[in-house]
DNA sequence: GCTTGGCACTCTACTTCAGAGAGTGCCAAC
DNA sequence: GTTGGCACTCTCTGAAGTAGAGTGCCAAGC
């Protein structure tokens, strides 16, 4: 990283060679030598010529050799170029899509869909699958119920969509009687039914308050309680579900116990992974982190292929696959893509 | 395992020697030779005499040698005898108990208490902590609410204890109107308030039904719905929380990636572990599974120290620690014991 | 000027060998 | 019953040698 000469664009030949090299390395897991590339490379060049090109590629930082007399392996930068410019994604077979559709059938509850998606990803790729829980402030409010716990503590129950239940303990600034709570709940249920939590949080509440200027005490109470209920207390308890982590234990490049430990600790901590996944929320389509690009040491040698999933143009979350940098991107990418689409579809509320 | 001579009881000396050997092996992780035992063994015997006794212990199946010229290591059977008959449990330091109490403070919700307990176990022992979720049919019913989803599907919301909410979609045999549901819910809330789900399931329902012989249609409806609601559909979605699994990756005896994979797959499958933990539910006090005793191949070389936890004499669940067979039982056992007590206490409903 | 065969060089991986060290089992002596 | 002695076995370590793979460079060829 001290100096980086080769910012001249790669020649056609160099690109083709890099592509072949990455493919071969992904397939065999062995450093690829000049000899091996003479055969199937498509180009009719001698090993010596290939060596020249490979020397250039090495200088430009796309490949490196583990030691003098081994072949070359791609660097993170090499993989990046490969993924961005050289990769032609396999179309998934129709069979896959049907198969997936069955296993990601709509009509089940959110949690089990997320679980299925995660398992699906890991099962199909033989890597680890991750799925963030869908953002919850998107669902349509169906019913609001309050239950007094003690003087000033109320258990609020919020029913969303089909059958999703959220509950939350809120503290009020004054005591409310059960009857009062009942009224408030009726009022809010009526008023907010069909709106999303996000909508309510994003201003509906203020609008009501401004418009009607507390025409009666019921409204005042309702708004006070609702404000507590919908307060965004920063506790956006994002979470994700991971499946098939143990698949990662079979890869030679991760087989040192220390690396595995580091990686699994990152899984357990959740924070780093979440942060990484959150970065994918903004861009849509498939996105890829390669090795150290993520900035986390535990991700050395590991890649992450992600996609957002959405329904009705609302981005709900991120899902993806974690595997060794040396993974079959051309096979994994469409799987992630399709799974994201199907999960989005299965989560569609009006289904 | 072909024949097992030594069913004669061990001599005093043999027991003492076994105890020393296990202690040493747990401390150092190295096979223990006759020479090493001459010093600190307390007995004043020559290496040769010790060799004789060790030969007896080996024949009786308590110890074995990895190869001809290594020392001896305990077998599962040896550990078992050690744990049952030779172990004197260290009293935990008072500091620990206070420290724990703070981190397992009552008044938080069940899930976070269970999480804390699991983390506590793994943090204190540097092993993996497991805690089953408390049995849920113990909590006192506080409120029952129904919400119509479609013609014959009802979302039932059950509020227990302080603020624990369960919900469940039930299918009815005929359509119910909202008003009707409201009546049913009022009736059931009144009738069942304070009772535990277990109580209701265990006969209260039948009693009501038999007693009153459907005096009116409301009762008939209520009982029909309640039957659905409290049906024990075998889906006792037992679950457990595990923490600190990665601690297990540092132990030499588990450092083969295949063994680790096997073990972590067992964690992920959950079924086997749950089955194992369920076996501990019956006996109370600390219980220990050593290595192959559990019957699962993944548990070769691994021990499980468990205890039930309970409040008000009601067994709520099981918690424990998973670690290599070569663990410091005398240190781990009191930790498990204390944690179980504190968790039980923290979960006490009337707190 | 690009391409190619040839060649010396380097580095890893594997095998073999020998010696050190640890521990045992057995035996004869106490 | 206990002990010192001794031959034996097995693992571990390091050294040394060999085979194999791949490279870099150079001079010759198209």
Average pLDDT over residues B163-177: 82
- Give residue A1's pLDDT: 42
Percent of chain A scored above 90 by pLDDT? 47
The structure's pTM equals 0.89
CATH code of the domain containing B149:
3.30.390.60
B145 reaches A (C-beta below 8 A) = yes
A91 in a domain, yes or no?
no
Three-state secondary structure along chain B?
CCCCCCCCCCCHHHHHHHHHHHHHHHHHCCCECHHHHHHHCCCCCCHHHHHHHHHHHHHCCCEECCCCCCCEEECHHHHHHHHHHHCCCCCCCHHHHHHHHHHCCCCCCHHHHHHHHHHHHHHHHCCEEEEECCCHHHCEEEEEEEEEEECCEEEEEEEECCCEEEEEEEECCCCCCHHHHHHHHHHHHHHHCCCEHHHHHHHHHHHHHHHHCCCCHHHHHHHHHHHHHHCCCCCCCCCEEEECHHHHHHCHHHCCHHHHHHHHHHHHHCHHHHHHHHHHHHCCCEEEEEHHHHCCHHHCCEEEEEEEEEECCEEEEEEEEEEECCCCHHHHHHHHHHHHHHHHHHCCCCC
Q: How far apart are CA A258 and CA A238, in angstroms?
A: 28
CATH code of the domain containing A35:
1.10.10.10
A351 in a domain, yes or no?
no
Q: How confident is the model at residue B249 (pLDDT cuts 50, 70, 90)?
A: very high
B155 reaches A (C-beta below 8 A) = yes
Q: Does residue A218 share a domain with residue A252?
A: no
Looking at mean pLDDT, say which of A213-222, B128-137, B225-234, B321-330 comes out highest. Answer: B321-330
Write down the mean pLDDT value for chain B.
Answer: 86
Q: What is the pLDDT of residues A160-185, one digit of tens each?
A: 876 678 888 888 888 888 888 888 88
Domain limit, last residue, from A86, A116, A149: A86
B167 reaches A (C-beta below 8 A) = yes
Choice between A203 and A276, residue whose per-residue pLDDT is larger: A276
Domain limit, last residue, from A192, A213, A229: A229
Q: Pairing state of beta strands A128-132 and A240-243?
A: antiparallel
Q: Does residue A219 share a domain with residue A74?
A: no
Q: Which helix (H) or strand (E) holds A266?
A: helix A257-269
Domain limit, last residue, from A209, A229, A249: A229
Q: Does residue A116 share a domain with residue A246?
A: yes
Choice between B274 and B137, residue whose per-residue pLDDT is larger: B274
User: Can you say how many angstroms the Cα of residue B108 is from the centroid of all Cα atoms in its chain?
Assistant: 21
Query: Does pLDDT of A4 surpass 50?
Result: no
Query: Does pLDDT of A80 surpass 50?
Result: yes
Q: What are phi and psi of B114, to 5 degrees?
A: -65, -45
B257 in a domain, yes or no?
yes
B351 in a domain, yes or no?
no
Q: Does residue B266 share a domain with residue B335?
A: yes
Q: How confident is the model at residue B6 (pLDDT cuts 50, 70, 90)?
A: very low
Average pLDDT over residues B118-131: 97
Average pLDDT over residues B136-143: 81
Query: Does pLDDT of A236 surpass 70?
Result: no
Q: What is the pLDDT of residues A296-325, one digit of tens each?
A: 999 999 999 999 999 888 899 999 999 999
Residue in B163, B167, B250 closest to A169 by CB = B163
Query: Does pLDDT of B255 surpass 80?
Result: no
Query: Does pLDDT of B159 surpass 60?
Result: yes
Q: Does residue B112 share a domain with residue B258?
A: yes
Q: Does residue A278 share a domain with residue A148?
A: no
| Token duo for residue B200 | 């209701």
> Which residues, 6 or more positions from A266, have their beta carbon under 8 angstroms from its beta carbon?
A272, A273, A296, A298, A299
Q: Does residue A150 share a domain with residue A71?
A: no
- Give residue B305's pLDDT: 97
SS3 A303: strand
- Give residue B1's pLDDT: 42
Q: What is the pLDDT of residues B186-213, one digit of tens each?
A: 888 888 888 888 888 877 667 666 666 6
- Domain, as residue range, for A270: 97-135+237-346
Q: Does residue B324 share a domain with residue B249?
A: yes
Residue in A159, A244, A255 closest to B147 by CB = A159
Pick out residues 30-69 of chain B having their CB under 7 A from any atom of nucleic acid strand C: 31-36, 47-48, 51, 54-55, 58, 65, 68-69
User: DSSP class of residue A88?
Assistant: -
User: Which nt sits closest to B34, CA to C1'?
Assistant: C23
User: DSSP class of residue A89?
Assistant: P
Q: What is the pLDDT of residues A278-295, one digit of tens each?
A: 999 988 889 999 999 999
Number of domains forming the structure of chain A: 3
Query: Does pLDDT of A277 surpass 90?
Result: yes
B81 in a domain, yes or no?
yes
B119 in a domain, yes or no?
yes
Q: Does residue A254 share a domain with residue A212?
A: no
For B134, B211, B282, the CA distances from B277, given in Å and listed in that order, are 12, 39, 10
């Amino acid at each position: 990283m001290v100096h980086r000469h080769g910012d001249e664009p790669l020649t056609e030949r160099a690109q083709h060679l890099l592509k072949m090299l990455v493919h071969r390395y992904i397939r065999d897991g062995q450093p690829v030598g000049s000899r091996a590339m003479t055969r199937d490379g498509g180009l009719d060049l001698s090993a010596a010529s290939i060596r020249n090109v490979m020397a250039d590629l090495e200088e430009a930082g796309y490949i490196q050799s583990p030691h003098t007399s081994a072949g070359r392996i791609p660097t993170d930068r090499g993989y990046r170029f490969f993924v961005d410019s050289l990769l032609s994604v396999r179309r998934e077979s129709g069979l896959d899509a049907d198969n997936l559709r069955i296993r990601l059938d709509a009509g089940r509850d959110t949690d089990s869909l997320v679980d299925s998606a995660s398992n699906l990803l890991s099962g199909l790729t033989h890597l680890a699958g991750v799925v963030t829980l869908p953002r919850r402030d998107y669902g349509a409010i169906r019913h609001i119920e309050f239950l007094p716990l003690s003087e000033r503590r109320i258990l609020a129950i919020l029913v969303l969509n089909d059958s999703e239940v959220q509950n939350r303990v809120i503290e009020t600034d004054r005591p409310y009687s059960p009857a009062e709570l009942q009224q408030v709940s009726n009022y809010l249920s009526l008023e907010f039914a069909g709106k999303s939590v996000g909508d309510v949080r994003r201003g509906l509440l203020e609008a009501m308050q401004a418009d009607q200027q507390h025409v009666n005490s019921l409204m005042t109470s309702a708004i006070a309680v609702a404000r507590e209920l919908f307060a965004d207390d920063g506790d956006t308890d994002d979470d994700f579900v991971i499946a098939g982590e143990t698949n990662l234990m079979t890869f030679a490049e991760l087989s040192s116990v220390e690396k595995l430990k580091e990686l699994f600790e990152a899984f357990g901590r959740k924070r780093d992974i979440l942060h990484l996944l959150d970065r994918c929320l903004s861009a849509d389509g498939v996105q890829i982190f390669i090795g150290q690009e993520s900035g986390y040491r535990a991700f050395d040698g590991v890649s992450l292929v992600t996609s957002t999933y959405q329904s009705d143009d609302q981005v709900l979350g991120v899902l993806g696959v974690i595997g060794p940098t040396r993974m079959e991107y051309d096979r994994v990418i469409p799987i992630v893509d399709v799974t994201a689409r199907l999960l989005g579809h299965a989560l569609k509320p009006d289904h």
